[in-house]
Amino acid sequence: MGYRGRFAPSPTGPLHAGSLVAALASWLDARAHSGTWLVRIEDVDAPRCIAGMGDHILSQLAALGLASDEVPLVQSQRANVYQQTLQTLIAKGDAYPCQCSRKDILTALEALGRERPRHAELVYPGTCRSRTEKSSGVADSPQPAWRFRIDKTDTLVRWQDRRLGSQQQDVEKLVGDFPLRRADGYATYQLAVVVDDAAQGITHIVRGEDLADNTARQILLQQALNLPTPSYLHTPLVLGANGEKLSKQNGALALETSNPLAELNKAVVALGLHPRVDAPVGVALAAWVQEWQHLYNPAHD
Ligand code: GLU
């Protein structure tokens, strides 16, 4: 199968200098492989998304010369597909209902003598693991969340990142059984992203390094669903003045799409490529594709 890559923004705010780095890197990688580049609007977490922001991001991308090769997939229209996949996992015994609140999880961790991590998500201690679908389901109130049951035999996941090198994560230890569907009925990012990457035939994932930590969970889900694992490349993050990932909260300014070359130049510098002065955008993009090819050597992927 030919190369298929994607940029998958969540429409919680406009594209900024940080997210443009991931967008541009995924576009350059697709072009360097003579592949297809898709944009997917990840508005599955509806309460966090802003109406109309998906279209706004698409127009920002287009203004920078980055247009999706196919009609963008919109996750909010795919709730049925996520639900069907959840049913498949339930039928295989790979998912179970959970009604633990955050407080319940904290109490259980305390009882086990495990420290509460300061920043990371809570490691789910498996409280509801022994429940079966019969003991919960529709009659339960409130609706349960559904968690992925991590198979004890393969909790250490290893993968090769094209930029970061060999990676591994013990998902059982560092994350625990993770949510597939939330109690409010929305599919989680982990479930939706795995379902959609497979549905769209994505062969190469290029995204920000802040998402690298999710990769092991996604590989476990791909394996449970008999789906192929794409190749991964996590791009450098652009940091704000406070040293944290650039976001609206720490000073990311809206992109100046009236000056696309200036914005693209900032993004390529973050990627270790050379800025171009006074070149038409199309010429600059073509030059960066060549440079990217050299840097990440797609001929040998
Ligand atoms: N929607 C995710 C985000 O904007 C990215 C998902 C992905 O690339 O896997 O953070």
What is the side-by-side strand order in the sheet with 179-181? 95-98, 145-148, 179-181
10 Cβ closer than 6 Å to some ligand 1 atom: yes
The values of phi and psi at residue 145, to 5°, are -85, 165
Ligand 1, from 73, 74, 193: best to mutate by most atoms within 8 Å of Cβ?
Answer: 193
CA distance 236 to 245: 10
Atom 6 of ligand 1, residue of closest alpha carbon: 8
What residues form DSSP beta bridges with 254?
A: 16
Give distance in angstroms: CA of 107 to centre of ligand 1: 31
| CA–centroid distance, residue 166 to ligand 1 (Å) | 21
Q: How many CA atoms lie within 13 A of 22 on its CB side?
A: 26
In this prediction, residue 121 carries a pLDDT of 74
CA triple 29-248-250, angle to 5 deg: 105
CB of 8 sitting under 6 A from ligand 1? yes
* Partners of 179 in beta bridges: 147
Q: What residue ranges of the chain have pLDDT lower than 70? A: 1, 116-120, 131-141, 152, 248-253, 298-301
Query: Which tokens hold the place of 192?
Result: 């939706």
Q: How far apart are CA 6 and CA 125, in angstroms?
A: 34
Give CA torsion, residues 29, 32, 36, 42, to 10 deg: 10
Ligand 1 geometric centre to CA of 152 (Å): 28
Q: Which atom of ligand 1 is nearest to the CA of 210?
A: 10
Residue type, 93: G
C-alpha 171 to ligand 1 mean position (Å): 19
Query: How many whole angstroms separate alpha carbon 81 and alpha carbon 123?
Result: 28
pLDDT value for 54: 97
Residue 203: its pLDDT value, please?
98
- Is 211 a pocket residue for ligand 1 (Cβ < 6 Å)? yes
Nearest to 293, CA basis, from 9, 32, 17: 32
- Model pLDDT, residue 219: 97
- pLDDT of the residue at 254: 73
In short, whether 218's Cβ falls inside 6 Å of ligand 1 is no
Q: Is the CB of 230 under 6 A from ligand 1?
A: no
- The reported pLDDT for the residue numbered 119 is 63
- 34, 203 Cβ separation under 8 angstroms: no
Is the minimum distance from the CB of 40 to ligand 1 under 6 angstroms? no
Q: What is the pLDDT of residue 250?
A: 67
pLDDT tens for 25-61 read 999 999 999 999 999 999 999 999 999 999 999 999 9
224 with 89: CB under 8 angstroms? Answer: yes
The rounded Å distance from CA 207 to ligand 1 centre is 7
